[in-house]
Structure 1
Amino acid sequence: MDSFLKRKAETGASTSKKPKLENCPHGVKCYRKNPHHFREFQHPHLLDLLQMETIKIPDNYPQDKSVYLEQLEVLGPLVKDKPLAKPSTSQATQSECARPGTMLEKLQKAAPYNLFFTTIPKSPDTSKQANSVTFTDLLCPSLGQLKCSLQINFMIDIGWLMEQYKARNLEKKPLTILYGSDEFPQMEQYMDKFLPQVTYHFVKMKDPFGCHHSKIGVYVYEDNSLRVVVSSANLYYEDWNHYNQGLWVSPLCRPLADPSEKSGESPTGFKSAFLSYLKHYNLPILKTWIDCVKNADFSDIKVFLVTSVPGKHYPETAGSHVHHVGHLLSKHCSLPAKTGPDSEGPLSWGIMAQASSIGSLGKAPADWLRSTLLRSLAGHKQTQLVSNSNATLSVIFPSVDNVMNGYFGPESGGCLPYSKQTNEKQKWLQTYLHQWKADKLNRSRAMPHIKTYCRVSPCLSKLAWFLVTSANISKSAWGGNLQKDRATYIRSYEAGVMFLPKFFDEEYFEIASTLSNKNKKLFPFLYDLPLTEYKSSDYPWCN
């Protein structure tokens, strides 16, 4: 960031007057595309390519040619001495040719679920998927003429983020950010000096084991309508290009003719839940955003907003994933009744938990995993919430082999901060673990930073419910062990959305084509079924 600040202070100077940077130690093997990296290290081979009238990547370069072209797109505007040359037609990136339609068209095709996954440049087939998006897609003018936006997140690289807005000529629009990580040094000094349109607040956690982990975007348009995006992705390059992420994009929430806090509510109570979440921060910079939400009509939203906020929470109050998910499932989730020895019954529907990190869960499954988390996930209308349910629970988490076979080898596991020390204390978890595998969508070699929870039919073609969230499998995110008064303690901020078939006029969500559902819209499902269990020799990836 130091070199970034120096570059900005010397705007208008030629590159020859800038401080000389060290050469990148990876040379032509470098795959990084984060602007922060290019401000810290020199890449002579890329500078040479920029001098060409027409870019032609040498055949002996070790990376895929699309990697160098994408690096040049990032580096070109930073150099500024020479405009970026056009790649030869044969080397144009597939993503440029294979992303038809506007974001509004994508959203219309994705309705009613509005669930998207990130594009993975290393897997060109993902660019062709109807519900695969980039961050700049969220800024597409087809969604509305942006007036201002709010980004609530954990890690934010402000340089990368502003380049996304600049790509849509929106870099001067007012932007408010709440963030919880100081991973990018001197970011606040940079914003103070060069970004007067940005209002920011660093969310400092009182609990050293908690973090501001929610990932929410609010986009307000010139007509005062808005959209909400709930995501699993941080706001920096790798999260949007190297890892599998999930995001839900709301329908357009139009301004109310007679606005009030209670009008324009959705059938799922999304508006009141979002207002409660925003108010919990108790921050003056959010007052305008709270008013924007109050003034908007959320009646078309069909998902539930599920949040966790730091503090002690009880079953009937919002603020913990454990309580809220359990309450929703016990009220709205229907499973087939057990009518005979050969009938399915609720216990034949398996629960799957897929995350990018796992916390300290105790010495045995009954300590928290089954007594608290599964108590919540196993809820349905035909039963009370029961500790240590007999329901089947499968955990999907990348193994060492999954990561080593990833696009970037061991660096593919950068989004999987599971502690080896913690894993050694809970070896019992091995019997629950399953490989990361998403061959059907050509996403197996991109590691999952997305977090999803669901309940799947014995035939593996239906879902009883689905949750995409920022919450990993941890007490900090979901809630600690239930106390005598049924209260739970939350350390972190988290946010996700819960899909329940009832609110989409469905009995169940269909995730695989069958003869009986060939005309139905399939719910977008990311990983492969049936799951692949860990072998005894497998080991979960640990950082």
Structure 2
Amino acid sequence: MEYTKEAVGVANKRKLKDNKSSAEAEGIILGKESQKLDKISDLENEESVRPKKIIRNSVSTIRKCSYESPKKEETKLASNDNRPRCKYGRECYRKNPQHFKEFSHFGEEPLNKKSRLDTNDMESPSSSTQNNLTPKVMKESHPSFGFYLTKVKGLAPEYNQHSALDLKDIFSLTKAKLKASAQFNYMTDIPWLMKQYPAEYRSCPLLIVHGEQRGSKSALEKAASVFPNITLCNAKLEIMYGTHHTKMMLLLYDSGLRIVIHTANLIENDWFQKTQGIWISPLFPSLLGEQSAHRGNSATNFKGDLLEYLSFYNRPDIDEWCKHIKGHDLSNSSVFLIGSIPGRHLAERKTSFGHLKLRKVLNLHGPEKSLVTSSWPLIGQFSSIGSLGTDQNQWLCGEWLASLGTVKGCSLTSKTPLQLVFPTVNNVRESLEGYPAGTSLPYSINVAKKQPYLRNFLYQWKSDRLSRSHASPHIKTYLRVSPDNSSVAWFLLTSANLSKAAWGVLEKNGSQFMIRSYELGVLFMPQYLVSRKVFGVPEVKERKANMETISFPVPYDIPLIPYSNKDEIWIWDIPHIKAPDRHGNKWCPPLPRT
């Protein structure tokens, strides 16, 4: 199967060939401009082939199946645009802002003589941004949690004021003066990102850590060259098909350090009409006296784990940020850090990353077996599914579930129910974005055919309580819930999707642990946050006797709704033409060539 379009999948942009081993790729990869791709099979689709801008009824990633050529519209646009036309037109899949500077596309507003890289055209943060940071934000999300969702355009105002932030809000959370920042991410639109910073901070030093390779790396470098304050840092990806998927901000102020871990790419579409998750740390104060990895640490070892994670990049620019972290007091951080670093990890390092790190934390600090029994379901919610193997007991219900099913002192795997939340075709079709939302939910037909057992675990995406049932999920969360759906034992917000590449897989009879990608998340444990054994579930009125709880703001409705017999799992590389989406479009992906 071959494709002729360029897409923005994995950062390394390698050609993916048929691989009958357990190798997965974090993203569907469609190579350089005029190249065709070799067969894609047994590989993981991690991120999306998303257009930078979605315009109603004129979407670059889809077309109406009975579509007439819009000659009048194209002529009108061409008359106002001096750029040559992209040969892929409305079906261009690029993410590179420089490409949109040089070529015009039907359905896009003309740029005339202005460039997307023109720094003089940047907007100042509106006053409404500050006004939205009301005390209601902290009432919905308990102050100890620091957990938020992103704002969603098109919702009633009350759903964007309670525990919801956009990127400009994050940069405006404190009156302290920003001195420097670092952005770790998978996809970055530099001109758009710079617009999100307050005007007075757009010249502050900014480090962008990425995993781009070849052409996309050159494009990122070209975009960054317009901004003299930006330094690029390329994360090493030494294992094939790995990606730099971590999404983190380090914000250094004159009065402290703030850390933000989230699930959104630094592109406009990810902050528009999707459900994304954000954890925002307190403003950590400077340490007086000796700077150390041990001083100013917390009971959760957050500082130590963050420094260990960053040290594996082995980059001088990141080492400078490690010095900043050592110089601050992180003792009031109440979450655990769960990260993934590419490599084949041996001995003690096996349990430093991936699902084995989560297993270790739960084994040491997790819920008691007397409280959380094997009957407590494990919920996984994600936006991409990788190649998990033909036998569900091999990885999914084997080593991975053994880790997530761990309680203090032991693992509970034999009877742990597994519930996996992934959108149905109707979830995508009825979303605010319509079918284009499906480009952020990569699950390929070739992979799906080889793991039909997944159907037994599937549940719909539904978030009526937060009015986000139609805000397509790009958030990734994992939690342990009681059988009566009244209590949550722990909650994990992470960049890691359901894949071996992200979570890791044991090799050589368990003697080594292989991870392909960089990932990062935070684990919320009730005893460290609210001095309780469990969190409550929002809007669950009936509680167990003698169990006073504080609810954790789970971003979807519990109890979950299982797939019905008529529900189909969303697969992004096959047609969906039974019904149009809310914008009148049907999903007709490019047909493969034989």
Normalising by structure 1, we get a TM-score of 0.80
Structure with greater helix percent: 1
Task: State the 1:251 CA deviation.
Answer: 0.7
| More displaced stretch, 512-521 vs 211-220 | 512-521
Match of 1:332 in 2: 365
**Mapped pair 1:229 → 2:260:** yes
Are the equivalent residues in 2 in contact too, given 1:372–1:482 (CA < 8 A)? no
Are the equivalent residues in 2 in contact too, given 1:139–1:168 (CA < 8 A)? no
Q: 1:355 to 1:141 in 2, by over 3 A?
A: closer
Could you say what secondary structure the match of 2:506 adopts? coil
1:487-521 CA-partner distances (Å, limit 9, x unpaired)? 32111111000011121211111122436699964
Task: Say which of 7, 11, 19 aligns to 2:82.
Answer: 19
Task: State the 1:432 CA deviation.
Answer: 0.6
2-structure distance, mates of 1:43, 1:171: 31
Match of 1:384 in 2: 410
Task: Say which of 550, 568, 571 aligns to 1:539.
Answer: 568
Match of 1:203 in 2: 235
Task: Say which of 294, 306, 318 aligns to 1:262.
Answer: 294
2-structure distance, mates of 1:295, 1:176: 19
Could you say what secondary structure the match of 1:142 adopts? coil
Are the equivalent residues in 2 in contact too, given 1:321–1:478 (CA < 8 A)? yes
**Mapped pair 1:524 → 2:553:** yes
**Mapped pair 1:502 → 2:531:** no
Q: 1:528 to 1:108 in 2, by over 3 A?
A: closer
Could you say what secondary structure the match of 1:282 adopts? coil
Are the equivalent residues in 2 in contact too, given 1:335–1:380 (CA < 8 A)? yes
2-structure distance, mates of 1:24, 1:119: 35
| More displaced stretch, 305-314 vs 169-178 | 305-314
| More displaced stretch, 398-407 vs 119-128 | 119-128
Match of 1:304 in 2: 336
Could you say what secondary structure the match of 2:522 adopts? strand
Identity of aligned pairs, percent?
34
Q: 1:24 to 1:47 in 2, by over 3 A?
A: farther
Are the equivalent residues in 2 in contact too, given 1:99–1:127 (CA < 8 A)? no
The residue type equivalent to 1:369 in the other structure is L
2-structure distance, mates of 1:147, 1:235: 20
| More displaced stretch, 354-363 vs 17-26 | 17-26
Q: 1:78 to 1:371 in 2, by over 3 A?
A: same
Match of 1:216 in 2: 248
Match of 1:240 in 2: 271
Task: Say which of 187, 204, 208 aligns to 1:173.
Answer: 204
The residue type equivalent to 2:176 in the other structure is G
Task: Say which of 337, 347, 350 aligns to 2:374.
Answer: 347
Task: State the 1:285 CA deviation.
Answer: 1.2
Match of 1:480 in 2: 505
Are the equivalent residues in 2 in contact too, given 1:179–1:212 (CA < 8 A)? yes
Match of 1:145 in 2: 177
2-structure distance, mates of 1:352, 1:516: 20
2-structure distance, mates of 1:133, 1:426: 37
Are the equivalent residues in 1 in contact too, given 2:302–2:337 (CA < 8 A)? yes
| More displaced stretch, 177-186 vs 268-277 | 177-186
Alignment of 1:424-443 (within 5 A): 424-443=449-468
Match of 2:306 in 1: 274
Are the equivalent residues in 2 in contact too, given 1:470–1:495 (CA < 8 A)? yes
1:346-380 CA-partner distances (Å, limit 9, x unpaired)? 12311100011111111121010011110001100
Q: Which has the higher contact order (CA 8 A, sep 6+)?
A: 2
1:61-102 CA-partner distances (Å, limit 9, x unpaired)? xxxxxxxxxxxxx99x9996xx99xxxxxxxxxx98798453
Q: 1:336 to 1:274 in 2, by over 3 A?
A: closer
2-structure distance, mates of 1:321, 1:511: 27
Match of 2:480 in 1: 455
1:283-325 CA-partner distances (Å, limit 9, x unpaired)? 0111210100000100000000111101123574354221111
1-structure distance, mates of 2:307, 2:296: 13
The residue type equivalent to 1:393 in the other structure is L
Could you say what secondary structure the match of 2:233 adopts? strand
Could you say what secondary structure the match of 1:169 adopts? helix
Q: 1:45 to 1:274 in 2, by over 3 A?
A: closer
Task: State the 1:129 CA deviation.
Answer: 3.7
Q: 1:454 to 1:131 in 2, by over 3 A?
A: same
2-structure distance, mates of 1:432, 1:179: 34
Task: Name the count of aligned residue pairs.
Answer: 481
**Mapped pair 1:363 → 2:390:** yes
1:197-226 CA-partner distances (Å, limit 9, x unpaired)? 001122242222211111110000023x10
Normalising by structure 2, we get a TM-score of 0.73
Structure 2 spans left out of the alignment, 5+ residues: 1-78, 573-594
Could you say what secondary structure the match of 1:394 adopts? strand
Are the equivalent residues in 1 in contact too, given 2:81–2:104 (CA < 8 A)? no
Match of 1:467 in 2: 492
Alignment of 1:37-76 (within 5 A): 39=101, 40-41=103-104
| More displaced stretch, 295-304 vs 413-422 | 413-422
1:113-157 CA-partner distances (Å, limit 9, x unpaired)? 000111110223465342100011111062521110001111111
Match of 2:315 in 1: 283
1:317-336 CA-partner distances (Å, limit 9, x unpaired)? 35422111111112222256
Are the equivalent residues in 2 in contact too, given 1:103–1:138 (CA < 8 A)? no
Task: State the 1:400 CA deviation.
Answer: 1.3
Match of 1:320 in 2: 353
Match of 2:401 in 1: 374
Q: 1:126 to 1:235 in 2, by over 3 A?
A: farther
The residue type equivalent to 1:540 in the other structure is I
Task: State the 1:389 CA deviation.
Answer: 2.5
1-structure distance, mates of 2:224, 2:134: 29
Task: State the 1:337 CA deviation.
Answer: 2.7
2-structure distance, mates of 1:43, 1:360: 36
1-structure distance, mates of 2:80, 2:472: 41
Match of 2:538 in 1: 512
Are the equivalent residues in 2 in contact too, given 1:351–1:455 (CA < 8 A)? yes
2-structure distance, mates of 1:398, 1:101: 30
| More displaced stretch, 265-274 vs 39-48 | 39-48
Task: State the 1:412 CA deviation.
Answer: 1.1
Task: State the 1:34 CA deviation.
Answer: 11
2-structure distance, mates of 1:455, 1:141: 31
2-structure distance, mates of 1:236, 1:191: 15
The residue type equivalent to 1:180 in the other structure is G
Are the equivalent residues in 1 in contact too, given 2:243–2:517 (CA < 8 A)? yes
Q: 1:390 to 1:265 in 2, by over 3 A?
A: same
Q: 1:97 to 1:175 in 2, by over 3 A?
A: closer
Task: State the 1:243 CA deviation.
Answer: 1.5
| More displaced stretch, 518-527 vs 146-155 | 518-527
Alignment of 1:116-135 (within 5 A): 116-125=148-157, 127-135=159-167
Could you say what secondary structure the match of 2:259 adopts? strand
CA RMSD of aligned residues (A): 3.7
Task: State the 1:464 CA deviation.
Answer: 0.3
| More displaced stretch, 403-412 vs 420-429 | 403-412
Structure 1 spans left out of the alignment, 5+ residues: 1-15, 28-32, 51-73, 85-94, 339-344
